[in-house]
Structure 1
Amino acid sequence: MHYPDVYIGTIEQYPDFSPSAIAKRQVDGGIAVTPFGLEGDQQAEKSYHGGADRALCHFPREHYAWLRQQFPEEEDRFHPPAFGENLSTLGMTEDNVFIGDIFRWGETLIQVTQPRAPCYKLNHFLDCQNLSPLLQQSGRCGWLYRVVGTGKTSGDRPLELLTRNSEVSVAEAISIAFHMPFDEEQYRRLMSAAGISASWSKTMQMRLVNRKIEDFGRRLFGK
């Protein structure tokens, strides 16, 4: 059984930077889950965050221990929910969670839709300029969910896997999208994974149309 710590955040203004809801606080007790995520949780840039396919963000807690080893001088910064996640657990990682997995969480049902794509905001908020590319290259990205069934839940209700709907793990999806050279067969495999988000389907389709991989620089570094 995997019991998640639960976090929500509201949009805040930051000097010399765009508004963001990356700063989260832990929720104790019950909380409602709507079609667009946890009640009271906000997203500033709706083009890249939130929406039906990206209603909840999950980041494995064990990744923080690895990051503290990589940046010992900054170890105080690497604790949940530093990456703006809604859920953090031990025992669920990109290797054992699959695209399309449906979990029961309290009264709710949630489905894995895509890996998280690290962006430059993590570099800024954690004052570590190479953090996003490090997460992407290491495969420690976390993943996102859509809400299949709404209801009430809490951190003392476990995430229970109900159905596995594809053979593509989150780790494989990360490798296909971010690590492999151009591979039409793998892009089609990822697009055919049950539950994959519309945005990731579009990205893979555009690679097939353009016959090239998009530039990651703007997302990773804000340039």
Structure 2
Amino acid sequence: MIVAEPPPPPKSSARIDHLLIGALAPLGDKRAPSGIDKHPARRRLKLGREGFEGDFQGDRKNHGGPDKAAHHYPFEHYATWRTEIGALPRLDQPGAFGENFSTRGLDEDSVALGDVFRVGAALIEVSQGRQPCWKLNVRFAIPDMAMRVQKSGRTGWYYRVLEDGFVAPGDELRLIDRRSPDWPISRLWRALYVDSQNSEELAAMAALARLPDGWRRIAERRLAMRTIEDWSARLTGADPA
């Protein structure tokens, strides 16, 4: 039996260095509508159950919605990516990964499912990690960028909104509650992509009260079928067989 290591003590707060939103625009040869090209906002923005005002997603089936209202990506990861894929212009400023929050000091090891933060006037809760998709391949002009992000564990995470409110660049993201402290985003990542057929971990994951239904179904299906789902459509954009 694999026993998960206890998560490190949580960092209680971080400052929002950049608050980013994106309009819809065609992406790549498919001309798929996408809001991944995000840019810093210079004013406070309303954050509601579906996300930030002025922020858009082209594929509402797989992006956005109450469990993916805002995406957070640690800025520290940018330096690591530069060592791995080179000093690409895309990495010169935040927003490369389509994130809404860019901060320093929080990462996938220290942030856990169900963590509740006060940010500006809004109250938000960590809902899940990111499952990277093929749009990152196009954005970085690297054919396997989505797979690289998935394998790295440097995925970032999503929030659901518990209380609507205005958020501004420079606001403090302050931790006020931990509902599943034993389940940092990195542990969810390992259960999905590393030790992906560990029945004990999958059962524990499926039992998490704050887990989105989509992730719960993945865990339950693996337990029932003893197989791993096909990731190729998500990671490459190929039409499913």
User: Given the two structures, how large is their TM-score scaled by the length of structure 1?
Assistant: 0.95
Does residue 68 in structure 1 map to residue 82 in structure 2?
A: yes
Aligned residues: 222
Q: CA deviation at 1:58?
A: 0.6
Pair 1:12 & 2:33 matched = no
The question of 1:205 aligning with 2:220 is answered yes
CA deviation map 1:196-223 (0-9, x unaligned)? 2121112212222322111122211222
Q: In the alignment, is residue 58 of structure 1 matched against residue 68 of structure 2?
A: no
1:15: how far off? 5.2
Q: Find the residue that maps to 1:7 and give its secondary structure.
A: strand
Paired with 2:68 and 2:78, the residues of 1 have a C-alpha distance of 22
The answer to whether the 8 A contact 2:27-2:138 is kept is no
- Given that 1:100 and 1:193 are in contact with CA atoms closer than 8 Å, whether structure 2 keeps it comes out as no
TM-score, normalized by length of structure 2?
0.88
1:133 Cα deviation after fit: 1.2
Q: 1:56-92: per-residue Cα shift (whole Å, max 9, x none)?
A: 11111011111111122x4222231011111111111
Task: Measure, in 1, the Cα distance between the counterparts of 2:207 and 2:164.
Answer: 26
Contact 1:53 1:198 in 2 (8 A): no
Higher mean displacement: 49-58 or 15-24: 15-24
Identity of aligned residues (%): 35
Deviation by residue 1:87-130 (Cα, 9 ceiling, x = unmatched): 11111100000011010001111111110001111011110112
Partner of 1:179: 194
Aligned partner of 1:2 in structure 2 is: 14
Unaligned regions of 5+ residues in structure 2, if any? 1-12
Which runs of structure 1 show a deviation greater than 6 angstroms over 4 or more consecutive aligned residues? Answer: none
Counterpart of 1:149, as a letter, is: E
Q: Which residue of 1 aligns with 2:101?
A: 87
- What is aligned with 1:43? 57
